[in-house]
Amino acid sequence: MANSRWTAAAETPPVSLRRRGPVLERAILEAALEQLSTVGWSGLTMEGVASGAQTGKAAVYRRWPSKEDLVADALQSGLPTLDEAADHGSIRQDLFELCRRVRDAMYSRAGFAMRSVLHECDTTTAERFHGVIVRGVIEPSNRLFREVVCRGVTRGDVRADITSELVLDVIPGLMMYRSKVCGSEWPDEDIAEMIDQVMVPLLRPSSG
């Protein structure tokens, strides 16, 4: 019996946690997001992140000298990438798919963590994280909305005189207002209604 126990133990390979470079950095960033989702900004500590990543505190501080630096990188790395808007053949479908991607970014784990951070931290710190939102969500989504509308003009299903920035602000404005004030999580049917009832009539070429 003793020999069989010894044999089973010997055949079980040891678990190695000696990670370096990008692998270790990804583990630390994931641990930071997990901390934000469970204990929030106020409860997050560098020690807790190190423990969650199963590494030493020194490994965290070598890469991120402050909690703010770590959280900014964790939020930015966790946001879904908004890098292109596929052509689905119509302005209606292009906007629908793009809105779903923006919605998914807003309600991703990093998106939830970001809102938690902005709610909890002081004004000066919030300004830094606001920049993460601008670079990670607002600027790329605005660029893609413009790309979709311009493609619609070329295709002929969007009016050629749609050039105002106010028009491009309609979808982000509605999504932010309904999310923050009304608590909407933007299910697909609400996105479809916004596009069909608001955006398509606004963008449609004149029949006259």
Q: Looking at residue 175, which CATH number applies to its domain?
A: 1.10.357
pLDDT (0 to 100) of residue 125? 82
pLDDT (0 to 100) of residue 81? 86
Same domain, 43 and 128: no
Same domain, 70 and 99: no
Q: Looking at residue 30, which CATH number applies to its domain?
A: 1.10.10.60
Is 5 contained in some domain?
A: no
DSSP codes joined into one string, the chain: -HHHHHHHHHHSPPPP----HHHHHHHHHHHHHHHHHHHHHHH--HHHHHHHTTS-HHHHHHH-SSHHHHHHHHHHHHSPP-------SSHHHHHHHHHHHHHHHHTSHHHHHHHHHHHHS-HHHHHHHHHHHIIIIIHHHHHHHHHHHHHHHHHTSS-TT---HHHHHHHHHHHHHHHHTS-----HHHHHHHIIIIIHHHHSPP--
The structural domain count of the chain equals 2
pLDDT (0 to 100) of residue 13? 38
Can you give the residue range of the structural domain that contains 164?
91-203
pLDDT (0 to 100) of residue 17? 53
Is 86 contained in some domain?
A: no
pLDDT (0 to 100) of residue 57? 94
pLDDT (0 to 100) of residue 19? 62
Is 11 contained in some domain?
A: no
Please identify every stretch of the chain with a pLDDT value under 50, giving residue numbers as ranges.
2, 4-16
